[in-house]
Amino acid sequence: MWSPGGCRRAIFVNPPREDTKTVTLLPTRAANETLFERVEVEAGIVTGSLGRITQRWRPWHFEVQRGSSALPHQHLPIDQTALSSVAVEDQRVVERWRETEGYHGPTADSLGNHATCIPAVSAVRWAPEPARDDDLLAHREQLSDSDAGDLSLQGRPMRLQRVGAHIVLENAGVSLGGHRVLRGLNFSVAPGEVLGVAGPNGSGKTTLLRLLATLVRPDEGGGRVLEAALGTAEVYAIRSEIGLVGHVPTVIGELSLRENLEHATRLRGEDLSRIEPALRVVGLDEAADRKVEASSYGMLRRIEAARLLITEPRLLLLDEAFSGLDVDAQELMDALIVRTIGNGGSVVMVSHDAAHLGRRAGRVMSLSAGRLETVP
Amino acid sequence: MNRIRILLVTAAIAVGIGLWFAFTAPVDRLQGEFSRIVNVHAPFLWVAFLAFGVTALASIMWLVKKTRRWDRLGEASAELGVVFTVAGLFTGMVWGQAVWGRAWDWGDARLATTAVMLFVYVGYLALRRATPDPEMRARRSAILGAVAVVQVPLVYFSVYMFRTLHQTPSIRPDGATMPEQMLIALLFNFLAITYLYFALLMARIYVARAEEAVVVDGSLAGDAVKPPRLSEVEDV
Amino acid sequence: MEIARVDLRVERRVGDVVRIILPFAVVALLVFPLALGVDLSAISRLGPAVFWAIGILFGMQVALRQAANDLPERRDLYSLLGLDPAARFAGRSLSGSVLMVGFLAVLLVATVILYSPDLPAGWPGPVLVGLVLTGIGLTELGTLAGEVTAGLRNRTALASLIVAPLALPLVIGGSQTLESLARDTGILPWLLLLVATDLALAVAGVALARPLEEASR
């Protein structure tokens, strides 16, 4: 139903009236066929569902004064929040959010760009009036790159911004301890994409993820992650936007689960009030005061999930994250993936179970002998 | 390789000449034959100090430039530094024991600081040996070198402060009143031994480069892992 | 700041320092006079020297224990939370200093009791200042050495080897503070020496934080 591929977007723009234009933005085509089981549109709200997880988008219409350079962007609310109105005031795009009970997402005001959700806007199309439900489903074509850039709509300039790929690797290789572990890696990951990497044990999957997490530098070739060149000091700026779920849960042993979460939240400068909702979502609100040493593996994974809910990474890296988890916890991981995608981010999952990857990822590559090959 | 050989041979000759000078120069009245040791002892300590400086400098240059050659230089200089420091301390102790009846002299700040320098070297080399990955090895030892650059002057300074406070009359005379021939011998030996250090340094770096060329191996770590042969389970 | 808080909280829960290192150090205090077999007046003269020697040698272990707690996953976590390595160094040094000063203070009390040294007039003030400065410097050195040896085999011994020679200015500065107080000569140069060392180490720690973070994977 939704076209495969990377992050594409159709914008429906009304023919301009005197000095205003109405822009309707569709959500990122973030849901590939294999991720969501069902996609529906009702009353202008698009809903994608995967099991018990739903992701909703509300395409919004707003009017932009002619000549303003407000860059169109979009927040994709996660479950249980709603964007109640968007308006242009004083040449700024202002969103108002209605916070519902439960977990809440990004904050209220935004000015122009919002780093987490810059869309990969590729083109503009005219539509006679604001898109109707059928249009949303029907008009989702692949738009070509040449449509990007500065466009003029009937003579009036309007700037669209293009965002780059989240990951680009060019012939990258890594050696550790004198042995070459990865070599000749060439691929890219676009925003909104879920990439699966399958491979047997010992093929270097963990090293690949650590390379993408900028924790290891390539000693051959290079690449960019979230626009920062690997192996340079640029990575320090984007590290906080990466979330890594490793083989072993990363928690501080002597603290309780709640304290771990508080510690991470404080280090990130996030608001402590987000902790309770996060704990509720992962189902640990009552167990949170247990010490890590007294907690099961599944609980530690859930606390990691809670931490990722708070830190909202743009790039989510999962290293065998589904192994050893019960159904509830697996759903939690799925929710994290959906949420990351919904926010315009991307996900790279690594597993030795190719079938499992196939259910979640839009594209699967196989890593063997340090090289990556696309699996058809 | 030939260049290295030439360096080493000429260095050996220079040191030989230096030793000849040392043995034919007149002896100090008080110290007797043992005064000859100064001819090697002082240059050894000077080279130890120089080698340390070179290692420290190489560490900082590595952090700035990140090229292999600085790491090789640092490693080579540190190894030679240990050798020369031990040689210097040993000759010093022999001299002290023979002439003054005491191998170690707390009043001489130079001894204590040289000993500290020796242990900083030893720590540096121990760190290198404990790190298998070449890139990490270079990194960590460069950082230690940088810390040493900062700390060692403070060590020296503090020991000197200590010494000036606990002033014991200096029992090791400076060479200012030496007869001319002794002075010439000493100076020549300084030059010869410094030259020897330089030659050995070049040789050591050459060896290091040769070692690295051998290590590079094209295979991948994961290649060695093969799928299990389940049909042969019964054979076990 | 946050790092410091958590480190201290961990310490409170686990209590390595209080339960293990400190008693060990006090035992060492007991061992010295017995090993040396000296007469009583010599013991009290030895007091300050023994305090500084043991304080530095065992204090090193206090600083290193923190580094030992630092598993690779934890470092990755901190990196990905966007924590600047320099901030991590500062936080570690802060919490380590608190523990170190506490350790040294208790050790001081134990030494005074066991060795009953002759203490010069006006003694607590400058000596405590010296103690705090020495503690800070030792923590910084220990943190640096701990990071540079992260993940290596036999790390504690190696780190101790690295710290020991470089800690000399701290030993000298600290002990001379007391001695010059006794002789009524200037204590200022020694305190300044300690301050200079602490500053130099702090600068090194912050400047080298990023390379260090990369190096210790």
pLDDT classification of A118: cutoffs 50, 70, 90: very low
Estimate to the nearest angstrom the gap between the alpha carbon of A352 and the chain centroid. Answer: 23
**Nearest chain A Cα distance for residue C70, angstroms:** 9
**Residue A337 burial (10 A CB sphere; 0-12, 13-18, 19+):** buried
Please give the single-letter amino acid code of residue C79: S
pLDDT classification of A162: cutoffs 50, 70, 90: very low
**Residue B157 burial (10 A CB sphere; 0-12, 13-18, 19+):** middle
Copy the structure tokens of residue A296.
């099961």
Count of structural domains within chain B: 1
Is the predicted pLDDT of residue B231 greater than 70, yes or no?
no
Nearest to C209 by CA among C201, A288, A234: C201
Selected for mutation to probe chain A from B211, B220, B225, B226 (highest A CB count within 10 Å) is B220
Is the predicted pLDDT of residue C187 greater than 50, yes or no?
yes
pLDDT of residue A36: 61
* Of the partner residues C76, C81, C214, the one whose CB lies closest to the CB of residue A264: C81
C77/A250 Cβ within 8 A: yes
CA A50, CA A335: separation in Å to the nearest integer?
Answer: 9
Estimate to the nearest angstrom the gap between the alpha carbon of B152 and the chain centroid. Answer: 15
Which chain A residue has its CA at the smallest distance from C11's CA? A254
CA A188, CA B94: separation in Å to the nearest integer?
Answer: 68
- Chain B residues lying within 8 Å of C214, measured CB to CB: 139
Estimate to the nearest angstrom the gap between the alpha carbon of C22 and the chain centroid. Answer: 12
Q: Is B142 helix (H, G, I), strand (E, B) or coil?
A: helix
Which whole number is the average pLDDT over B35-50?
80
pLDDT of residue B58: 92
pLDDT of residue A298: 83
* Of the partner residues B139, B150, B159, the one whose CB lies closest to the CB of residue C214: B139
Determine contact, residues C204/B150, Cβ cutoff 8 Å: yes
Residue A320 CB contacts under 8 Å (≥ 6 apart), including other chains: A205, A247, A350, A351, A352
Per-range mean pLDDT, top range of A58-62, B173-177, B221-225, C190-194: C190-194
Any idea what DSSP says for residue A254? T
Residue A299 CB neighbour total at 10 angstroms: 21
CA A2, CA A55: separation in Å to the nearest integer?
Answer: 15
* Of the partner residues B135, B219, B222, the one whose CB lies closest to the CB of residue A203: B222
Is the predicted pLDDT of residue C79 greater than 50, yes or no?
yes
Nearest to C197 by CA among C130, C127, C99: C130
Contacts across the B-C interface (CB distance below 8 Å):
95
pLDDT of residue A1: 17
Report pLDDT digits (tens) over A29-42.
333 344 566 666 55
Copy the structure tokens of residue A170.
């060019």
B221/A204 Cβ within 8 A: yes
Selected for mutation to probe chain B from C64, C163, C172 (highest B CB count within 10 Å) is C172
Contacts across the A-B interface (CB distance below 8 Å):
41
- Out of 3.20.10.10, 3.40.190.10, 3.40.50.970, 3.40.50.300, the CATH code matching A167-374 is 3.40.50.300
> In whole numbers, what is the pLDDT of chain A averaged over residues?
61
Which whole number is the average pLDDT over B59-80?
88
Which whole number is the average pLDDT over C119-129?
74
**Which residue range forms the structural domain that includes residue B107?**
40-170
The residue behind tokens 């490793």 is A246
- Chain A residues lying within 8 Å of C83, measured CB to CB: 267
pLDDT of residue C65: 77
- Chain C residues lying within 8 Å of A267, measured CB to CB: 2-3, 78, 81-83
Apex B226 CA angle, B221 and B227, nearest 5: 140
Determine contact, residues C90/C209, Cβ cutoff 8 Å: no
3-state helix, strand and coil shares in percent for chain B, rounded to the nearest 5: 80, 0, 15
Determine contact, residues C137/C201, Cβ cutoff 8 Å: yes
Q: Is C62 helix (H, G, I), strand (E, B) or coil?
A: helix
Is the predicted pLDDT of residue A153 greater than 60, yes or no?
no
Copy the structure tokens of residue A96.
């108002």
A268/C81 Cβ within 8 A: yes
* Interface membership of B221 toward A (CB under 8 Å): yes
Query: Where are the strands (E) in A263-360, listed by range?
Result: 315-319, 346-351
Round the CA-based radius of gyration of chain A to a whole number and report it: 21
pLDDT of residue A37: 63
pLDDT classification of C6: cutoffs 50, 70, 90: low
- Chain B residues lying within 8 Å of C144, measured CB to CB: 147
Residue B218 CB neighbour total at 10 angstroms: 7
Chains contacting A (3+ CB pairs below 8 angstroms):
B, C
Chains contacting C (3+ CB pairs below 8 angstroms):
A, B
Is the predicted pLDDT of residue A71 greater than 60, yes or no?
no
CA B69, CA A41: separation in Å to the nearest integer?
Answer: 64
- Chain A residues lying within 8 Å of B132, measured CB to CB: 177-178
Chain C residues contacting B via beta carbons under 8 Å: 141, 144, 148-149, 152-154, 158, 161-162, 164-166, 168-169, 172-173, 176, 180, 185, 189-190, 193, 196-197, 200-201, 203-204, 208, 211-212, 214-217
Which whole number is the average pLDDT over C65-82?
75
Q: What percent of chain A has pLDDT over 70?
A: 51
Report pLDDT digits (tens) over B110-142.
777 788 888 888 889 988 888 877 788 888 889
- Chain B residues lying within 8 Å of A200, measured CB to CB: 225, 227
Domain definitions of chain C by residue range = 2-215
Is the predicted pLDDT of residue C159 greater than 80, yes or no?
yes
A44 to A47, A58, A128: CA distances (angstroms): 10, 7, 17
Which chain B residue has its CA at the smallest distance from A176's CA? B133
* Of the partner residues C14, C73, C82, the one whose CB lies closest to the CB of residue A250: C73
- Compute φ and ψ for A253, nearest 5 degrees: -60, -40
Apex A142 CA angle, A138 and A145, nearest 5: 145
- Chain C residues lying within 8 Å of B152, measured CB to CB: 166
A268/C6 Cβ within 8 A: no
Residue A263 CB contacts under 8 Å (≥ 6 apart), including other chains: A252, A255, C2, C6
> In whole numbers, what is the pLDDT of chain C averaged over residues?
79
B222/A369 Cβ within 8 A: yes
Domain definitions of chain A by residue range = 11-159, 167-374
Residue C130 CB contacts under 8 Å (≥ 6 apart), including other chains: C173, C174, C177, C178, C187, C190, C191, C194
Determine contact, residues C59/C66, Cβ cutoff 8 Å: no
Phi-psi region of A32 (alpha: psi -120 to 50; beta: other; left: phi over 0): beta
Nearest to C77 by CA among A260, B54, A291, A1: A260
Lowest mean per-residue pLDDT among A158-162, C53-57, C110-114: A158-162
The answer to the question of residue B229 being in a domain is no
**Nearest chain C Cα distance for residue A295, angstroms:** 17
Would you say the C-alpha torsion A323, A325, A326, A330 has a positive or negative sign?
negative
Write out residues 134-153 of B within 8 Å (CB-CB) of A.
Answer: 134-135
Determine contact, residues B22/B191, Cβ cutoff 8 Å: no
> In whole numbers, what is the pLDDT of chain B averaged over residues?
77
C169/B151 Cβ within 8 A: yes
The answer to the question of residue B58 being in a domain is yes
Determine contact, residues C194/C137, Cβ cutoff 8 Å: yes
- Chain C residues lying within 8 Å of B136, measured CB to CB: 215, 217
The answer to the question of residue B200 being in a domain is no
Q: Could you tell me if the ipTM is greater than 0.90?
A: no
Determine contact, residues A82/A58, Cβ cutoff 8 Å: yes
Report pLDDT digits (tens) over A7-28.
223 332 333 333 333 343 433 3
Lowest mean per-residue pLDDT among A105-109, A259-263, B83-87: A105-109
- Chain C residues lying within 8 Å of A177, measured CB to CB: none
Selected for mutation to probe chain C from B136, B141, B151 (highest C CB count within 10 Å) is B151
Which is it for strands A346-351 and A363-368: parallel, antiparallel or unpaired?
unpaired
CA C80, CA A44: separation in Å to the nearest integer?
Answer: 38
Report pLDDT digits (tens) over B181-229.
777 777 888 888 888 888 888 888 888 888 777 655 555 555 555 666 6
Determine contact, residues A307/A261, Cβ cutoff 8 Å: yes
Residue C112 CB neighbour total at 10 angstroms: 15
Chains contacting B (3+ CB pairs below 8 angstroms):
A, C
Determine contact, residues A231/A222, Cβ cutoff 8 Å: yes
Selected for mutation to probe chain C from B70, B156, B162 (highest C CB count within 10 Å) is B162
Lowest mean per-residue pLDDT among B157-166, C101-110, C143-152: B157-166
